[in-house]
């Protein structure tokens, strides 16, 4: 019923708009056609904004007190101090870098079976659910939460950090890998299967060539992410440069903090630059 009514109705509306345009009255078509929904959404957004802003408590006295620190901090960026905590910075940085590398390698190696298991088109249903659950848990919780748990289990130090990052890498890589496998060109797989290849041979000859370039690109990207994350999990005791940064901030040694931040930015830039090279080289 309503469909039958709608067709002439839209036609009438279109005609009315044409006549209006002929008289020189024309307005842009609204993004959302139904006026009620449009206004409802707009009013809802305003109310939400009002409530949300009202619940933000700002202690202006504290802010003005902190303003001086902000100036100090910006000043510190102009003259970062690499020297006075040199040993701490180098130790933290080395720890971060080793954690980054080992966790990425381990994470990617473990992500491959999980990714295969989470691809609906090649794995049986029970395995699919288990692998998807692993991915969901690993992706939901921030690295730092996982780090807290692993520090409790494995004790303070880079080992807990490494396990944390490897775990987070599994979720990230396995999800993207599974999506890739689900999208792959199925004709190639069938062609290889048609030759009488076993499951392993099919994986090696039909699936691996199709997903490999992206897998390498994603691993490089994850290496970059892992380094950035390794700079924060130190806050909860999982090793790396984050601990050094946290200490310097709580001591208000802004010049050292600025130096550490600049090093992090430089390394991330370097990572990004080299990963774009590696990706070009693998494709």
Partner 1 sequence: MLTLSGVGKRYPTGDRALTDIELTLPKGQVMALIGPSGAGKSTLIRCVNRLVEPTQGSIRLEETELTKLSGHKLRHARRSMGMIFQEYALVDRLTVMENVLSGQLGYVGFWRSFLRRYPQEAVVEAFRLLERVGLPHAIDKRADALSGGQRQRVGIARALLQSPKLLLVDEPTASLDPKTSRQIMRLIRELCAERNLAAIINIHDVALAQQFADRIVGLRAGKIVFDGLPSELTSEMLTTIYGEEDWDTTPEPMDDDATNDASVNSPYQHTMKSVAAGGAQ
Partner 2 sequence: MPVSFTSQGLPVWRRRTTRAQWLQYIAWLAGVSLFLLCWKMISDNTMWVFVEDAGRQGADLISRMTPPEWGYANVLWKPMWDTLNIATLGTALGIVMAFPVAFLAARNTTPHPLIRSAALMVIVSSRSINSLIWAMLLVTILGPGVLAGIIAIALRSIGFVGKLLYEAIEEIHPTPVEAISATGASRMQVMNYGVLPQIMPAFAGISVYRWDINIRESTVLGLVGAGGIGLQLNASINSLAWDQVSVIFIMIFATVLVSEWISARVRHAII
Residue 103 structure tokens = 């966790």
Shortest distance (Å) from residue 105 CB to partner 1: 44
CA distances in angstroms from 83 to 54, 256, 271, listed in the order given? 45, 8, 24
18 in contact with partner 1 (CB under 8 A): yes
Q: Mask 45-84, x = binds partner 2 (CB under 8 A)? A: ---x---xx-xxxxx--xx-xxx-xx--x-----------
Closest CB 13 distance from partner 1, rounded Å: 9
Going from the C-alpha of 261 to that of each of 9, 92, 93, 239, 265, the distances in angstroms are: 61, 13, 11, 17, 6
Contacts of 136 (CB under 8 A, 6+ apart): 171
Alpha-helical runs (H) found in 118-240: 125-140, 143-154, 158-182, 186-194, 199-202, 208-230
Number of H helices, E strands in the chain: 12, 0
For position 133 contacting partner 1 by CB under 8 A, the verdict is: no
Residues 20-39 that bind partner 1 (CB under 8 A): 21-29
Which residue ranges make up the site for partner 1 (CB under 8 A)? 14, 17-18, 21-29
Which residue ranges make up the site for partner 2 (CB under 8 A)? 48, 52-53, 55-59, 62-63, 65-67, 69-70, 73, 94-95, 97-99, 101-102, 105, 136-137, 140-142, 144-145, 148-149, 152-155, 157-159, 162, 228-229, 231-232, 235-236, 239, 242, 245-246, 249, 252, 257, 261, 264-265, 268-269
């Amino acid at each position: 019923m309503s469909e039958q009514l709608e067709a002439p109705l839209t036609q009438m509306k279109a005609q009315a708009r044409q006549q209006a345009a002929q008289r020189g009255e024309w307005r842009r078509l609204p993004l959302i056609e139904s006026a009620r929904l449009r206004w409802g959404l707009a009013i809802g957004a305003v109310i939400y904004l009002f409530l949300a802003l009202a619940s933000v408590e700002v202690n202006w006295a504290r802010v003005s007190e902190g303003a001086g620190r902000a100036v100090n901090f910006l000043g510190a960026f102009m003259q970062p101090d690499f020297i006075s905590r040199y040993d701490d910075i180098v130790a933290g940085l080395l720890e971060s870098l080793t954690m980054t590398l080992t966790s990425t390698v381990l994470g990617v190696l473990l992500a491959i079976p999980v990714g295969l298991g989470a691809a609906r088109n090649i794995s049986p249903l029970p395995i699919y659910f288990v692998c998807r659950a692993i991915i969901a848990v690993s992706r939901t919780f921030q690295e730092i939460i996982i780090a807290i748990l692993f520090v409790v289990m494995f004790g303070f130090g880079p080992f807990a950090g490494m396990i944390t990052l490897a775990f987070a890498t599994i979720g990230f890589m396995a999800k993207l890998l599974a999506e890739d496998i689900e999208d792959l060109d199925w004709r190639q797989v069938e062609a290889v299967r048609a030759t009488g290849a076993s499951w392993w041979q099919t994986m090696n000859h039909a699936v691996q060539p199709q997903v490999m370039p992206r897998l390498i690109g994603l691993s490089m990207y994850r290496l970059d992410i892992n380094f950035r994350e390794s700079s924060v999990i130190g806050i909860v005791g999982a090793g790396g440069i984050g601990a050094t940064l946290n200490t310097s901030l709580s001591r208000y040694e802004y010049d050292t903090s600025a130096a550490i931040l600049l090093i992090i930015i430089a390394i991330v830039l370097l990572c990004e630059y080299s990963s774009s090279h590696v990706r070009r080289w693998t494709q």
